[in-house]
Structure 1
């Protein structure tokens, strides 16, 4: 195959909500370097994950298959590296491949990264300061801040690569995953600024399924139990304490985002200096979205919009017009076939997604997906307490089913919670505050969405 096939720089962060990116209209921060990608390429407004939790989303991206197919349904599952992945196929076709940064899919034996000429990963979540890395199986501690170190390693690999061959570099940041620890350069950023709270900050979880009220992700009640530094002074009233906690949490989070933005700028500058801009696809995304005080929460997991939606920016001057955006539905399961498409590799049968190449060129196929299927499997995990659920999202509606049980090893029900439905009219209620499932005027819509939900479940083979 021709060496003129595009290089691929795939940058992914962890838990970066689209609300904290100025190219998505952020009210709370600026991200000038990420905006460069959007301004010189495309911003996707409706990119969704199939399972809003770190390891499962990463497994979906690697394999191009849903959680029940690739085997990583929860954080307890490790990725079986013997299965097909897009890096393996790119490597076999002549690409140089590297994975640097957060892997979070297990390590050792069949769980180490496969399909890479070089890999240098954080163990588990990794840490922010003086992080340990596992380089091709060997552990070493590298002094410095993890976002900067990950970028340094990525730039070094780019400099040392074989210039005669195309490359795939997966530069995956730990940030801005908690516990949020800014670098020294940005430790005082936003110190004298009052960050505005989200519109749904004071959500009381009424008129919703019981799952919302049961979740243990509240900034005021639950965050201090997980990270004590966010415990408010005792003399504050409950409302004052909640605001105090939000300000301290969100500022640390945004400081971590600023470090990502500056380091992405270093990567973009390198491509420009080396004359690689025209021949390199650059993608920036996150493994899922994140609640930044939305609904009074931190974390993700729910099918509500802030965690379902992933930021997704893509630049490739040879094909993608500059400064455009798209409302077409895209999912993380579509990334693997997209990479293969650009590399000129036939998309094999096991992959369940579709290439978005025509979508980002501005030519959305007539039969392109107009609904997406989601499933969260970690029923009542002890830290966050979110009920398992699955659902369907269309352009106007979202139907969610909390199916109320988790099966034990024996096949019997381990834990039961209420079986409940939620329907949100996304046109009238974009913040998802009013469950209209039981209203008569929505009965025909409910019926149509249930039919579509079952169609999607059958299509992807999730029929348990």
Structure 2
């Protein structure tokens, strides 16, 4: 049974003539939804958050004409698990196989685009939706999104273009959004997911030279050596972030041309931080803290900055709330519609003062005993001042085994520079920060140490802080029935990774079958 908010029930009471035609009434009274997501763009790469060498005027426009969140988090900093949180409204460790990257995604989950479709919305997506992984027998890899039934919606990928540089995808994201709008019936509101494949790697190396950029403008994070290799890699990345931003501008223009912008809730974000060592896939601030801005015409008081902690599981309940539907029973996130509609800024809901984070298996290439493709399980709590991290298997390599190439970091000039350093090199500490083993507990003062370099976990001065954060984290995860906290975390290592042939090559084991191994293991538990 559909459930509507009191506002819509009141509207229906005073709008009987309009409701004689229910679909038309829905289109007149309910907002459109445009969700825009980058693939691997850091929060700090948006100029509204302070970036000086990456220019994002269109993302900034959404923030300036709406609101900007300063404490938005992705729950699990890798493509497939982060996006699973978005479409399901659940915390990552509650998603079973979808906690991992490249899973076999079950169709038992409800996905918010299809919940809206059931309620009369016209639904579609372009570019990268949920993925990578297998859903209903079809692999949703980076270049394989033309197949139907992505959890993000029905595909609109027909239009292509000639990209300015190699590495940038040929998909015309904004053009495909326009095709979608042109096909939309006049009597239906829409829900559209615009997912660029940029700035995911690879890049055209030294495209910054063709683009006329100055490496002196690039800002290098403290956990990298400052040299031309790193600066050039960051400059190439900046070009692709700006490509993402260009499509934001074109999508907004398409809505303006059709007089649809003011009744469209536009949400823009990225799935996690940039595809560089120590960021993408890692439980450090730049990996899991994401950009998030929203615009909704006169509904949102413009120019506000909100510091409430929000996380990807909150997005689906918020969208359901915005269109007048109760969240689906599976959704465990909490709507932040109140923050969109409030006229206040800063900390609106004082209870939103922290977030929970975690990861299990991201990429393959890690072995523990006789078990292939195990994860690097970690859970974390981040509040306004501190980040506490619990690494459950510190004997494992956090970024994958060295002999398999540290596969939880994308190949890049930056990675090559760091992994080719000798132990006696002056820059070797940068390699250790990105690829070395980590202690069981980590604690960082984010205010004083935003790059998470000074671990305070063993400092007597911070013993009480660490203990309080550990207790709070475990209490929250226990309430959410996290298998890792409840002692059943091995199942995350056993869920099969869907990229079977590459694993056979990696481990030189042509008979390796993670699906059969999982079934054998599961049967042995009974």
TM-score range, shorter chain: 0.7 to 0.9
Tell me if 1:76 matches 2:56. Answer: no
Instruction: Give 1:67 shift.
Output: 2.4
How far off is 1:386 after superposition? Answer: 8.5
- Contact 1:300/1:307 (CA < 8 Å) preserved in 2? yes
Structure of higher CA gyration radius: 2
- Residue of structure 2 in register with 1:270 after alignment: 254
Please say if 1:394 is aligned against 2:383.
Answer: yes
Partner of residue 194 from structure 1, selected from 196, 216, 232: 216
Aligned ranges for residues 39-78 of structure 1 at < 5 Å?
39-70=64-95, 71-78=97-104
Match of 1:85 in 2: 111
Describe the superposition over 1:15-56 as per-residue Cα deviations: whole angstroms up to 9, x where unpaired. 111121111110222111111111101111110011100001
What are the within-5 Å matches in structure 2 for residues 23-42 of structure 1?
Answer: 23-42=48-67
1:335 equivalent to 2:321? Answer no
* Contact persistence 1:183–1:256 (CA under 8 A): no
Residues 180-202 of structure 1 show CA distances to partners (whole Å, capped at 9, x for unaligned) of 24999x87224344233334144
RMSD (Å), alpha carbons = 3.0
Residue 359, structure 1, aligned to residue 343, structure 2: no
**Larger deviation, residues 25-34 vs 144-153:** 144-153
SS in 1 for 2:463: helix
| Structure 1 CA distance for aligned equivalents of residues 159 and 475 of structure 2 | 49
Query: In the TM superposition, what are the counterparts of 1:65-464 in structure 2 within 5 Å?
Result: 65-70=90-95, 71-105=97-131, 110=136, 123-126=140-143, 133-136=145-148, 142=160, 144-145=162-163, 146=169, 148-181=171-204, 188-202=210-224, 243-290=227-274, 297=277, 299-362=279-342, 366=349, 368-378=351-361, 381-382=364-365, 387-404=376-393, 420-462=440-482, 463=486, 464=488
Match of 2:9 in 1: none
1:8 positional shift: 0.5
CA contact under 8 A between 1:147 and 1:174: conserved in structure 2? no
Corresponding residue number in structure 2 for 1:228 = none
Distance 1:252 1:419 in 2: 33
Rounded to whole Å, the distance in 2 between the matches of 1:143 and 1:40 is 30
Q: Is the Cα contact below 8 Å between 1:403 and 1:418 reproduced in 2? A: no
Q: Distance in 2 between matches of 1:257 and 1:104?
A: 20
1:298: Cα distance to partner?
6.1
Q: Is the 8 A contact 2:73 2:310 kept in 1?
A: yes
Pair 432,451 (structure 1): closer, same or farther in 2 beyond 3 Å = same
1:385/1:324 Cα in 2 relative to 1: closer, same or farther (>3 Å)? farther
- TM-score, reference length from structure 1: 0.78
Task: Using CA pairs under 8 Å that are at least 6 residues apart, name the structure with larger relative contact order, 1 or 2.
Answer: 1
- How many residue pairs get aligned? The number is 398
Q: Structure 2 length normalisation: TM-score?
A: 0.69
Shift of 1:141: 9.8
Structure number with the higher helix fraction is 2
How far apart, CA to CA, are the structure 2 residues paired with 1:161 and 1:276? Answer: 12
Which structure has more strand as a fraction of its residues?
1
Q: What is the alpha-carbon distance in structure 2 between the residues aligned to residue 40 and residue 360 of structure 1?
A: 12
SS at match of 1:251: helix
Task: State which drifts further: 394-403 or 436-445.
Answer: 436-445
Output the CA distance in 1 between the equivalents of 2:133 and 2:455.
42
- 1:424–1:38: structure 2 CA closer, same or farther, 3 Å change rule? same
Structure 2 contact 201–275 (Cα < 8 Å) conserved? no
Residues 159 and 172, structure 2, Cα contact 8 Å, conserved in 1: no
Is structure 2 residue 43 aligned with structure 1 residue 18?
yes
Matched, 1:9 2:34: yes
What's the offset of the Cα at 1:78?
3.0
1:151–1:366: structure 2 CA closer, same or farther, 3 Å change rule?
A: closer
Deviation track 1:386-419 (CA, whole Å, cap 9, x = no partner) reads 9431111111111101111799xxxxxxxxx775
Match of 1:219 in 2: none
